[in-house]
Amino acid sequence: MKYKPIALAAAALAAGLAAAPASADLIPLGATDLTGQGIGNTFTVLTLQSTGPGSTESGGVLFDGTTFGDAMTGASQSRTFSFADLAISSPSELALIVNLAEPGSESPPSVTTATSAGTHSELSTTISLNVFDSAGNLLETHSAASGLTLDQVGGGVGGSGLVFGLSADEQTQLAATMSAHAGDELFTVGATFADAQGGLDTIQAVRLTPVAAVPEPESYALMLAGLGALGFVARRRRRGR
């Protein structure tokens, strides 16, 4: 299966997201509007489902690939992964897409990132990216802010979602860790969401490809004016010869 990179414009920030504190390791980058692909057609690394309306769902994946808490089992729903699985080589290319599929009367439905109080809480607080070595030792964990409201984007499981990436400092830290354990890392994801309504909530791991922001109309006008002026000068020079 091929995994297409997710492109985000530099100016496309925070649609459907509350602002995260600067100290957060995993920070919101914006929303991606994908068509509903189905959970088996995306590189899903975690699937959570709460017990019912107004409950908290919490769980994750362990180093050996087994799940805990409210995480669903099965390789298409919750799994470990490596950079090689995503065809990426740098922490700056790694992104997680949180895809909510919550029922209910909210418009849009939402959940709130929360601190885990259950089993393996160190691996499942808010949204957690966990880094292990080949022996199963936990090297480091990168987490999103607590109390962050995540709004559902689009519909369907495995479709549109909210994109998170590592902050610049955390990218540097993870790069140093990977350099010290070259080719030796394994990643898992855990999460805890409050105010869940019983739907399936998934997190995908993807390759992120940042793209330049689209120029504003005023910028286009200035560019056209500049090109027009250059053309006028060129014509005057040709006539003067």
Of the candidates 178, 201, 180, the one whose C-alpha atom is nearest the C-alpha of residue 190 is 201
Q: What's the pTM?
A: 0.78
Q: Cis ω on the peptide bond leading into residue 108 (within 30° of 0)?
A: yes
Q: Which residue has the higher pLDDT, 155 or 8?
A: 155
Model pLDDT, residue 201: 92
13 pLDDT more than 50: no
Model pLDDT, residue 105: 61
Give the angle 206-170-190 at the CA atoms, nearest 5°: 55
Of the candidates 210, 208, 173, the one whose C-alpha atom is nearest the C-alpha of residue 86 is 208
Model pLDDT, residue 93: 95
Selection from 12-21, 150-159, 224-233 with the highest mean pLDDT: 150-159
Collapsing DSSP to helix, strand or coil, 224 comes out as helix
State mean pLDDT over 122-148: 95
Tokens at residue 10, please?
Answer: 């530099």
Displacement of CA 186 from its chain's centroid (Å): 17
Model pLDDT, residue 101: 86
213 pLDDT more than 70: no
| Whole-angstrom distance, CA of residue 199 vs CA of residue 207 | 26
The band of 22, judged by pLDDT with boundaries at 50, 70 and 90, is very low
Model pLDDT, residue 40: 56
Tokens at residue 136, please?
Answer: 């199963």
Collapsing DSSP to helix, strand or coil, 89 comes out as coil
Displacement of CA 238 from its chain's centroid (Å): 55
How many other CB atoms are there within 10 angstroms of residue 223's CB atom? 11
Query: Which residues share a beta bridge with 208?
Result: 6
